[in-house]
Amino acid sequence: MPSNVDHHRMARRSRSCHTVFRMRVVIAGGHGQIALRLERLLTLQGHEAIGLVRNPDHAADLADVGATAVVLDLEQATVAELTAELSGVDAVVFAAGAGPGSGIPRKDTVDRAAAASLAEAAERQAVRRYVLISSMGASFDPPPDTDEVFAAYLRAKRASEDDLSTRDLAWTILRPGRLTNDVGTGLVNLQTSVEPGSVPRDDVAAVVLGLLHEPATAGTTLELVSGDTPVADAIARFA
């Protein structure tokens, strides 16, 4: 995890994206590396961050960044259970993933099916704002020589994007490039299409935060790598 100093620096950089109201945001995959960064940014700004986690042992890590953990297995939860957890929520972020080491079946049950269930729950609960963290490469069929598990991951992400795009939600799809743990610079290249590249998880979290605050980005699919444009300015181009 980046230091508290780094997170405070990220929060200051993204303040121009803020609105003054306090948001209540649910983050699926709440113990993930991007999710923990996002939760810290949200709480630093006075918002309420609620992370859905499968492992109760992870609750302490969320508390450390100021977030509240709700123990709920996305693969097993019903849409009704998910809907109940979205009561009084202003926005949802799907940051979950089957993770390294998981096989093809879990790419489907987490990266596709769980995303679809959460989106349906958001519809039922009338939670309009929904940000899906997807992946670069999800926009086309993987080449024949692609590792079969990674190919399944990309197909699952594409299926989750396709499902979300049909729903009555103010959705935004974000496709980051290769993720790194480098300290974020706050400078990005955010476009509808970019050349493949890498991006620090710090900067992905800052962009997601900015997207939550900019409803004009609803209905857009954006790709993200490191660049030379401040996060707030990059998002403002789509406002």
Give the chain's domain count.
1
Residues 125-143, mean pLDDT to the nearest whole number: 92
Examine the pLDDT at 17 and tell me if it is beyond 90: no
Confidence band of 223 (pLDDT split at 50, 70, 90): very high
Mean pLDDT of the chain: 90
- Using one digit for the tens of pLDDT, what is the confidence trace for 148-207? 988 988 999 999 999 999 999 999 999 999 999 999 999 999 999 999 999 999 999 999
Pairing, β 170-176 against β 198-200:
unpaired
User: Which residue stretches of the chain are H helix?
Assistant: 4-13, 33-44, 59-64, 79-85, 104-106, 115-124, 148-165, 201-212, 231-236
Lowest mean pLDDT among 103-112, 203-212, 225-234: 103-112
Confidence band of 225 (pLDDT split at 50, 70, 90): very high
Residues 110-114, mean pLDDT to the nearest whole number: 93
Which of 99 and 62 is assigned the larger pLDDT?
Answer: 62
- Using one digit for the tens of pLDDT, what is the confidence trace for 36-87? 999 999 999 999 999 999 999 999 999 999 999 999 999 999 999 999 999 9
Residues 145-150, mean pLDDT to the nearest whole number: 86
What is the distance in angstroms between the CA of the first residue and the CA of the last residue of the chain?
31
Strand order in the sheet with 91-94: 68-71, 48-53, 24-28, 91-94, 129-133, 170-176, 220-226, 187-191, 229-230
Residues 232-239, mean pLDDT to the nearest whole number: 94
Residue-number span of the structural domain to which 25 is assigned? 4-236
Are 98 and 155 contacting, i.e. CB atoms less than 8 angstroms apart?
no
CA dihedral 66, 67, 71, 77 (to 10 degrees): -170
Residue whose tokens read 């079969």: 148
Residue whose tokens read 């605050």: 213
**Model pLDDT, residue 20:** 52
What is the share, in percent, of the chain residues with pLDDT greater than 90? 78
Are 48 and 24 contacting, i.e. CB atoms less than 8 angstroms apart?
yes
**Model pLDDT, residue 98:** 75
CATH code for position 228: 3.40.50.720
DSSP 8-state secondary structure symbol assigned to residue 111: I
Residue whose tokens read 């991951």: 153
